[in-house]
């Protein structure tokens, strides 16, 4: 759960942030390694969440405290400012430390999102790991955790430089040497994690932010939601991670720390070519491609990429984890070493274009599907309407996690709690912890019906308020703000993703291309559905 919450990328169920929680949650992990005591000079700072918690206060115990401490109001120590981002698990705010005036990021995670025991265990473990790794190069500094009746608030370093790939795309050009510099910092994170007894398990570009807007800003790893403390001799079997970056041994349910090198290798492949090596429209298709293991080094721009760079990619993406290169050896590779063989010759600009398409967040696409569902012919969705009513047992107009779980069970579903949670998060467009009627219709209708020419035109007209034939920046801002997503960063992301002719607005052709886009190398296939 990263500090700037610059997430929500459709890579895997759930369809926005690409993160899949463990299907077989292992709730036994070793105690974290010893964390040094805070220096006396820090005693006047806000107290971070304590590893050895005192007995919870009666109020905390009564309210099922997640951090197992007395409740503390984060606002006693920090003044919350503007919203920086909104995602699957919560909202991130700019905050100012009252005692020093320093700026930080405060991620507020709704306790409604922490439904199961596994969710709560994951939350506690993530905090332990962030506290354990804090202060290391290329890892976000963790300040503390504060829990109240409604939320768990994580305060951490403000990474004002934004997402790694956004910076690369914005520069408009870069070289193998620049790609090597990025990869070196990412692999350094892997080396630190493994040295300090942590298995990351979810390395992907979205989890790396830049510390500032400076050209020489450090890359910082920010999300440790799927990380675990390494247990000597343990073989991990739960399938976690993000589809494009998952190692083959994860899919075979028998893996160790080598999976982090594989994921870093996928990121390097993307840095050099603009797309991941294993493409498909569906999660199953991606997994099949990973298991097949064919890596394309023939298509553009690979003929112009140095042999040394390709050698490192091959070694990082070796299918057999026992033969895969280690983090220490990656950092010593001739291409990756500082001042090494990586060329300063610019990489083909087409790579940036492909990277931009791959990196698309498609917030507007998800919002457009919801608009279409709101205006769909009632007769077309009569059965879905009845299904919604049957699942919404308290007639509140929304479906909670418990209602969804019970409703699926009645339909004969054999899904685990974690898988039901994934479906819940995928359908919950506005991130409020429940599924309303329109969100349900959006998630359950056949996608080809939602994306008919007639429905796409109606959706375009919904956004094109003045009938000009274009969705302008102002119209986009109005539409996104209606769903709590109208911040400047999101608007820029959507325009960057969709506005292919770069005229600062979205025409109907661009809108349709976005709505029907999927795998750029294959014809669109049917999307996964809730039922």
How far apart (Å, rounded) are the C-alpha atoms in residues 261 and 242? 14
Residue 29: count of CB within 10 angstroms of its CB:
14
How far apart (Å, rounded) are the C-alpha atoms in residues 479 and 485? 9
| CA nearest to 156, candidates 171, 177, 139, 173 | 139
How far apart (Å, rounded) are the C-alpha atoms in residues 87 and 269? 27
Residue 165: count of CB within 10 angstroms of its CB:
22
The DSSP letter of residue 255 is: B
> 482: which residues sit within 8 A by CB, 6+ positions away?
none
365 is in an annotated binding site: no
| CA nearest to 273, candidates 331, 338, 353 | 353
Burial of 105 (0-12, 13-18, 19+ CB in 10 A): buried
Burial of 76 (0-12, 13-18, 19+ CB in 10 A): exposed
Catalytic residue check, 202: yes
Identify whether the C-beta of residue 487 lies closer than 8 Å to the C-beta of residue 497.
Answer: no
Identify whether the C-beta of residue 89 lies closer than 8 Å to the C-beta of residue 109.
Answer: yes
Residues in the chain: 531
Burial of 279 (0-12, 13-18, 19+ CB in 10 A): middle
DSSP string spanning 272-320?
HHSS-SS--SSHHHHHHHHHH-----SSTTGGGS-HHHHHHHHHHT-SS
Identify whether the C-beta of residue 325 lies closer than 8 Å to the C-beta of residue 318.
Answer: yes
| CA nearest to 321, candidates 431, 240, 246 | 246
Identify whether the C-beta of residue 438 lies closer than 8 Å to the C-beta of residue 374.
Answer: yes
Q: Of the listed 166, 202, 425, 464, which one is catalytic? A: 202
Identify whether the C-beta of residue 132 lies closer than 8 Å to the C-beta of residue 200.
Answer: no
Active-site positions?
A: 202
Annotated binding site: 107
Residue ranges at the known binding site for ATP: 107
């Amino acid at each position: 759960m990263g500090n700037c919450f610059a997430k929500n990328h459709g890579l895997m169920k759930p369809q926005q942030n690409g993160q899949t929680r463990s299907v077989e949650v292992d709730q036994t992990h070793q105690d974290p390694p010893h964390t040094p005591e805070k220096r006396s000079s820090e005693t006047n700072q806000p107290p971070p969440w304590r590893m050895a918690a005192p007995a919870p206060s009666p109020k905390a115990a009564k309210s099922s405290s997640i951090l197992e401490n007395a409740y503390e109001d984060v606002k006693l120590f920090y003044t919350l400012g503007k919203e920086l981002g909104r995602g699957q698990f919560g909202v991130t705010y700019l905050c100012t430390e009252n005692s020093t005036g320093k700026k930080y990021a405060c991620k507020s995670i709704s306790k409604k999102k922490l439904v199961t025991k596994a969710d709560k265990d994951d939350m506690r473990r993530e905090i332990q790991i962030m506290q354990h790794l804090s202060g290391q190069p290329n890892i976000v500094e963790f300040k503390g955790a504060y829990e109240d009746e409604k939320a768990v608030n994580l305060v951490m370093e403000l990474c004002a430089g934004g997402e790694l790939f956004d910076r690369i795309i914005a520069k408009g050009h870069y070289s193998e040497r620049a790609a090597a510099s990025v990869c070196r910092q990412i692999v350094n994170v892997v080396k630190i994690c493994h040295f300090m007894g942590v298995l990351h398990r979810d390395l992907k570009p979205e989890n790396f932010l830049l510390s500032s807007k400076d050209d020489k800003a450090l890359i910082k790893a920010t999300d440790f939601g799927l990380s675990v403390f390494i247990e000597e001799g343990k073989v991990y079997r739960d399938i976690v991670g993000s589809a494009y970056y998952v190692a083959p041994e994860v899919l075979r349910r028998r893996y160790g720390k080598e999976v982090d090198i594989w994921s870093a290798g996928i990121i390097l492949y993307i840095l050099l070519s603009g797309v991941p090596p294993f493409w498909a429209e569906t999660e199953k298709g991606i997994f099949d491609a990973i298991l097949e293991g064919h890596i394309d080094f023939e298509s553009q721009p690979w003929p112009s990429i140095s042999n040394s760079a390709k050698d490192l990619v091959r070694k990082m993406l070796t299918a057999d984890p026992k033969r895969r290169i280690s983090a220490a050896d990656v950092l010593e590779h001739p291409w990756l070493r500082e001042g090494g063989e990586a060329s300063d010759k610019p990489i083909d600009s087409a790579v940036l274009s492909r990277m931009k398409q791959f990196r698309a967040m498609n917030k507007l696409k998800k919002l457009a599907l919801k608009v279409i569902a709101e205006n769909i012919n009632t007769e077309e969705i009569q059965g879905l309407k009845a299904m919604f009513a049957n699942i919404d047992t308290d007639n509140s107009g929304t479906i909670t996690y418990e209602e969804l779980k019970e409703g699926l069970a009645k339909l004969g579903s054999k899904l685990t709690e974690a898988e039901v949670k994934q479906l819940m998060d995928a359908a919950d467009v506005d991130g409020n912890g429940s599924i309303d009627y329109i969100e349900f219709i959006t998630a359950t209708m056949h996608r080809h019906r939602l994306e008919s020419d007639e429905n796409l035109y109606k959706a375009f007209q919904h956004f094109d308020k003045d009938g000009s034939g274009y969705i302008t920046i102002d119209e986009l801002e109005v539409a996104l703000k209606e769903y709590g997503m109208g911040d400047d960063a999101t608007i820029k992301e959507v325009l960057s993703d969709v506005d292919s002719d770069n005229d600062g607005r979205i025409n109907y052709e661009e809108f349709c291309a976005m709505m029907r886009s999927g795998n750029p190398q294959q014809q669109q296939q049917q999307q996964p559905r809730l039922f």
